[in-house]
Each structure stands twice: as structure tokens, then as C-alpha cells.
A and B are shown apart, each in its own frame.
Chain A
Amino acid sequence: MAARVVASRRSFLGHSYNLVGVIAALVILTWTLIAIFAPYIIPHSIGDIVDDDYFGPIRQGLWLGSDYLGRDMLSRVLMGARYTVGISLAAVVIACFSGVVLGMIAAVTGGWLDTCLSRFLDAMNSIPSKLFGLVVVAAVGSSIPVLILTLAVIYTPGAYRFARALAVNINTMDFMTVARVRGESIIYLIGSEILPNIIRPVLADFGLRFVFIVLLLSGLSFLGLGLQPPLADWGALVRENIGGLPFAAPAVIVPSLAIASLTISVNLLIDNLPNKIRDRDA
């Protein structure tokens, strides 16, 4: 087992990578590029009806068939990448930034601030994520900023818990005591002493949280509570084309595969990161 792993690893930039990890990284890179450049590469406008038939099969000119209104599926999936990747990325950045900063502050400060924050965020964590999404959408309606903020709020407690647990360990180190005695400010303590020591596991956690957010966003959109038409992310594409399921139309299969390719790639990339980066106790 060990020999096989060693043989399949390649050295690059001081770290060794294995093949699965490299392929996963390429898939993620591809979707990211598509998300950025989608408006310039789509063959048809996403609203144009280009096929006389609905749920058309794959054929020349319509590489992924047509949807329930006869629109070009390839263009819609490429544009869907923009929303799924974009919204999830924005949400995960907000969630991890606020979670990690609060977690480090709680660990360094301790006392009542730590207790209150931990209690409150643990309570937030006890609300099932889909339910939270449902209630918020019922209350304020669904728009891109609301979705980003809701997803960020749902996944902040997890990021907080993770970062706090790591930061508490670092906080007991001698160099932290020295820095405190020097009279350093809390911003210096968390930014220059703690963060560099927990950044690698935090980045791995960032990836996992991104997957959770993509799954939740797709789930909400699938329920009709995410992006509203005419915009459509991958979850919404599956929803609007679910009528094609009995004929196994590409319009319902392709967006599903798109979601799976993204989430499985991120999972595989994290699983195959060099141990140095992945190890939680850095």
C-alpha cells in the first residue's frame, strides 16, 4: 500500500502530488474558468429558443440537447456554473472569514466573550441547514445577496468551531505567552502569531465547507427557493427540467453531473492534498 502511494506521487514545488489530486484540481480549475468567462463562450443566449422540440437529444449544434422550452442546454449549464460557483464561493469566503476571525478572537480572549460566542454559535449550529434556508427564504424572499448571506450565516458556526479548536491549542504555546508579555495587540496576536500556524487546516476546511454550500444551494434551488427564473444555477436547471426524467433527457442529467463533478473533485482534491497541508494538527 505504502509503496503504491509513493510511486504515484510526483514532486512539484516542494510538495508531492498524486494523479487523482491533479485531475481533481484540473476539474475545479475548468469550472472556475467557465464561471468567469461563461458570457463570452456560450453559443446561444440562455433565453433563446433554438430547438423546435423540447427535451431534444444531443446532436450537432446542440451539444447537450435542449431543455423543456427548447433552449440550448450547453449555454444554460455554462451560465449555471457562474451562479453555482460564484454564489457558493462568495458565501464560503464570508463564512470562513467571519468564523475564523471570531474563533481566533474567542480563543485568544477567553472568558465570557468566548463562552457567549460559543454558546450562541452552537445554538445556531443546532438548526438544520435546509430548514434555516427555508425559513429565511419564507421571511425575506429569495435574491442573490439574500442567498449568499443566508448560506454564509449557516456555515459560520462550523468554521468558528473548527478555527477555535485549533487556535486554543496554539494559544497555549510559549511564543504566545512571550507575545502577550511584549504587550502585542489582539490584532497582531491573531494575525501574526495564530493565523500562520492554523492556515493550512483552515484552508482544507474552506474546501469542505464550499462543498456543503454547493450542495445546500443546489438543494434550495431544486426546491424552487434558490435562484428565481430567468436566472438558473445547476440546482434550478435540474428542477425546471425534471419533467424530462422519464425519458432520461440530457437536460436533467447534465446539470446533475455538473454538480457531482464539482463537489466530488473538491472532496478528492482535499483527500489527496500532501499530508503537510492537510494535517489538522499542523
Chain B
Amino acid sequence: MTSGVLNLVLKRLAIAVVTLLIVLFAVFFATSMLPGDTASILLGQAATPEAVAGLREAMHLNDPAILRFLLWLVGLLHGDLGTSYANNMPVAALIGGRLLNTMELAGITTLLSVPLALMLGITAAMLRGSFYDRTVTILSIGIISVPEFMVATLAVLLFAVYLRWLPALSSVNEAHSLTDILRIYAMPVITLTFVISAQMIRMTRAAVIETLSTPYVEMALLKGASRSRMVLKHALPNALGPIVNAVALSLSYLVGGVIIVETIFNYPGIAKLMVDAVATRDLPLIQSCAMIFCLGYLLLITAADIIAIMSNPRLR
């Protein structure tokens, strides 16, 4: 790797850090715009003015917003996410197990959707214009064009209502055997896999088709190479960068997807926690959840960009 690529990658990482700061700032201020005085909400109606003033002092609420933001950031660096307003528990304790559940959901979905989408995307590009290609394309456009909750409701209608294979709700606590676990994860994972794969298929197909239209692939064709050799030996190695880029970008759709899917299936993950926190206006919890989501999203799109830079042979 030459210094040119290294510079570009470092620059991209620096941009990601700056972006993260701006995002944290935006999340902090959006949530502190909430109407109502936090201290008096916490203490209830019977609180004396002195008690409210004391709590305001203790919570640093009288300090200017920028100072509170810095204090919050310092707390974050120490792993202190604050205390939930709603039930007075440390946010970190509330999030811990839930985050693990969400990661499991996202992980299983990734393991399923990446091979599936790559296979469908690449074969569709190879058989471009065929009936198979058109079916795959229309199905993926169809899934992209509808909201995630509709994919979920259709999955429920099909698997839980008509076929009666799976339960419509999931509750991780009831998992006792392997079949239980399978049944609990099935619906959310199926829904998410549909949503993520559709994006990935489209991007993979576009990446391979673009490579197939380059002069060196045409050269291979003129040379008399077979269609499969042309794709596997000439086009795919060069399309690898754009494909991995497409995979990382598609996985960033997981962030929006889990919010809907966890709510619909009542899955005890961090997105469900956040939607509930919005309903109870539990600020520290919302801030922390939003931060985790932004961090995950930013990691994925930064990874996608860096892969795109590294795989560009002109920069190597």
C-alpha cells in the first residue's frame, strides 16, 4: 500500500471522527430541547423549590449547554452512560443485555443474507436480461419499494397465519430448547434478511454488470473465453471491491430495519428499548441508544468507503 492510499484512508477516518462529534452534538442538543425542567419532573409535584434547586445543581443543569455536553462526553469516555430517568437504573445496565440481543439478531441476519444476496446478485448479473434476472430484479425492487413493516406483516401472514409454522411474537426468555430458539429468531431474521438482501442484490448486480462492460472483459470475450471463465477469472476479482463496498452499505440498512422489526415482533433488543424510551421521554436512555446506533452506522459506511478506496487499483 502506497502513502497515497494510506493518506486517503487516514483522511476518511479523520472525517469519520469529526462526523461522530457532530452527530453526538446533534443528538445531545435534540434531546436537551425537550420541554419541561428535568429536575422538577424527576422529583414530582410535591418537591420543594429548594430540593429542585439542589438537584439542578447536582445534575449540572444550571451550567451552559456546551459545558454539559463536554461533561457528558467525558462521562462517555469513562463508560458512564448516565442514569435512566424512568426507573433510576444505570443506562449501561439497561442496555447491556439488550445490545447483545440486537447484535445476535444482526449477526444471524448478516450470516444468512450475505451469501444469499451475493449468489443471487452475481448470477443475475451473469444471466442479464434472462427471465431469471428479471424475476430477481423485480422481486428486489418490490421489497425495496415497500416499508419494512410491510415485509414483516407479509411474513407474519405467510408463515404464522396461513402456514402456522412460526409464532408471530418473540420472547427470548422463553427459549428452552434449540427448536424454541429457532422459532423465536425465525420471524425477525426472515424479515430483516429480505430487506437487507434486496438492497445487496441490487448493488451487487450493478457492480458486476459494470465490471462486465469494461474493455478487458470484452477482450476476454473476443479471445474466446467461456462465459463462466470470463466472469469468474476476469470480472469477479475486479468487482470484489465494489461488491464488499455494497455489502457494507447494505448492512447499514440494518440500523433502520431493526427499529421496525424489533417493535413489530416485540423482540427485546436495543431498538425496542429506544422506541419505549421515546414514549416515556427517558433522555439519557435515548441519547445512549441513539449514540450506539449512529456509531454502528458510521462504522459501516466508513468501512464501505475505505474498502472502496483500497480496492481501487488506480490508487494502489
Contacts and interface: CB of A to CB of B under 8 A. Distances in A.
A69 B290 CA distance: 35
Contact of A245 (B146, B148, B153): B153
B297 interface: yes
Interface stretch (A130-138, A190-198, A199-207): A130-138
B33 interface: yes
Interface string A105-125: 000000000000001101110
B141 A123 contact: no
B260 A260 contact: no
Interface stretch (B22-30, B170-178, B241-249): B22-30
Contacts of B33: 139-140
Interface in B145-187: 145-150, 153-154, 156-157, 160-161, 168
Given A137-B278, A218-B147, A223 B260 contact: yes
B149 A222 contact: yes
Contact of A131 (B144, B161, B293): B293
A126 B298 contact: yes
A127 to B, nearest CB: 6
Contact of A222 (B30, B147, B157, B301): B147
A211 B31 CA distance: 28
A259 B150 contact: yes
A235 to B, nearest CB: 7
Interface residues of A, number: 41
A134 B290 contact: yes
A238 B146 CA distance: 13
B53 interface: no
Residue from A129, A137, A248 whose CB has the most chain B CB atoms within 10 Å: A248
Contacts of B252: 128
B220 interface: no
Residue from A135, A215, A252, A264 whose CB has the most chain B CB atoms within 10 Å: A135
A263 interface: yes
A123 B34 CA distance: 23
A125 to B, nearest CB: 9
Residue from A124, A129, A138, A242 whose CB has the most chain B CB atoms within 10 Å: A138
B146 A260 contact: yes
B198 to A, nearest CB: 13
B30 A120 contact: no
B149 A139 contact: no
B142 interface: yes
Nearest to B291: A131
B294 interface: yes
- Determine the interface band of chain B, counting residues with CB < 8 A from chain A: 35 or more
Contact of B161 (A129, A218, A246): A246
Give chain B's interface secondary structure class: helix
B153 A138 contact: no
A123 B18 contact: yes
Contact of A256 (B22, B30, B153, B290): B153
Given A126-B297, A245-B161, A252-B153, A223 B259 contact: yes
B231 interface: no
Residue from B15, B147, B278, B281 whose CB has the most chain A CB atoms within 10 Å: B147
A248 B163 CA distance: 13
Contact of A238 (B18, B26, B153): B153
Contacts of B255: 128, 130-131
A70 B297 CA distance: 42
A219 B147 contact: yes
Nearest to A239: B149
30 contacts: A122-B15, A123-B18, A123-B23, A124-B22, A127-B23, A127-B297, A128-B256, A128-B293, A128-B294, A129-B256, A130-B256, A131-B255, A131-B256, A131-B259, A131-B290, A136-B30, A138-B31, A139-B33, A140-B35, A211-B145, A223-B275, A242-B153, A245-B157, A245-B168, A246-B160, A256-B154, A259-B150, A260-B146, A263-B146, A264-B142
Interface of A: 1, 119-120, 122-124, 126-131, 134-140, 211, 215, 218-219, 222-225, 235, 238, 242, 245-248, 252, 256, 259-260, 263-264, 267
Interface of B: 15, 18-19, 22-23, 26-27, 30-31, 33-35, 129, 141-142, 144-150, 153-154, 156-157, 160-161, 168, 252, 255-256, 259-260, 263, 274-275, 277-279, 281, 286, 290, 293-294, 297-298, 301
Given A122-B15, A235-B147, 4 more contacts: A138-B278, A215-B147, A223-B275, A224-B279
